[in-house]
Structure 1
Amino acid sequence: MLILSLLFGLFLGLCVLGPAQGQQLIVNQDVGISAIDRNRARLIFTMRINQWSDQRPVAVFVLPDDSPLHQTFAKSALGVFPHQLRQTWDRQVFSGTGQAPLQVASESEMLQRVQQTPGAIGYVSQLPSTPGIKGIEVE
């Protein structure tokens, strides 16, 4: 009976929370890749790689740390906790060895900034049909 009660509680919790929010890595259309491995994506989002393979600069855009999409993206696509990203960025900024990514307030701003910035990379909950932006797979 106790197990049945626990399972019912878990079911109710999942119904209230809903499905996990998906995420899609996006880049400006001028970026010449269609897929990226997880390690390279992690290096880009931790600001350790700042150029694409064609030597053009990478512009990294992220949502605020407390955004559910940011948290899902960090864990699922990059395999790190959001606080680990923040620690890495803060360490680079405070030590003068690097910078933090550019933070945007919403997914619509993310789309706009990635679309308008050559070499830009970011993420959204679903791939839009916005001209100037393409989705890339994380392998």
Structure 2
Amino acid sequence: MLLPLLVALLPLSAHAAERQVVLIAHPQVTNAALTRDTTRAIFAMRQRSWPDGQAVRVFVLPNNHPVHARFAKERLTVYPHQLQLAWDRMVFSGTGQAPSQVGSQIEMLERVATTPGALGYLEREYLDDRVQVITME
């Protein structure tokens, strides 16, 4: 009785693993891990460089993209509108700029792979060897 239920759930768990949103960086970035606080500071555009001093180039999907919402809520523990408010505040006050926006996960992969110091996110199924996955501590 329990075995058919477990077998029926297997495809869902494998699918869920593919749909996991991961943090990605340009292959020459020297940090393999970031804390949630550091990641949140980088995506809020408060921290503009990697711990080794290299400039961070942040890429994000549009606010209404479901992967952006999942990344913000699950990985940064903030709502997308909170990030947008922080970006708007910096832009309008002249103290900073918003991250670069890309239109799709494929474009995210391309831009992060080809931009030194780049940081972004996408679903695991879009990964390839042109970028590295950054673990969150």
Q: Same fold (TM over 0.5)?
A: yes
How far is 1:55 from its partner?
A: 1.4
TM-score by length of 1: 0.83
How far is 1:19 from its partner?
A: 5.5
How far is 1:130 from its partner?
A: 2.9
- 1:69 alignment counterpart: 67
* Unaligned runs of at least 5 residues, structure 2: 1-11
- 1:81 alignment counterpart: 79
Q: Secondary structure at the match of 2:70?
A: helix
Contact 1:23 1:69 in 2 (8 A): yes
Equivalences for residues 74-113 of structure 1 within 5 A? 74-113=72-111
What CA distance in whole angstroms lies between the structure 2 residues aligned with 1:61 and 1:24? 13
- 2:54 alignment counterpart: 56
- 2:7 alignment counterpart: none
What CA distance in whole angstroms lies between the structure 2 residues aligned with 1:81 and 1:70? 10
CA deviation profile, 1:68-124 (whole Å, cap 9, x unmatched)? 000000001101000000000000000101100000000000000000000000001
Aligned-residue Cα RMSD (Å) equals 1.8
Q: What stretches of structure 1 move > 3 A for 4+ residues in a row?
A: 18-21
What CA distance in whole angstroms lies between the structure 2 residues aligned with 1:28 and 1:19? 25
Q: 1:93 to 1:29 in 2, by over 3 A?
A: same
The structure that has the greater radius of gyration is 1
How far is 1:129 from its partner?
A: 2.1
- 1:37 alignment counterpart: 35
* Unaligned runs of at least 5 residues, structure 1: 1-14
- 1:7 alignment counterpart: none
Q: How many residues matched?
A: 122
What CA distance in whole angstroms lies between the structure 2 residues aligned with 1:84 and 1:22? 22
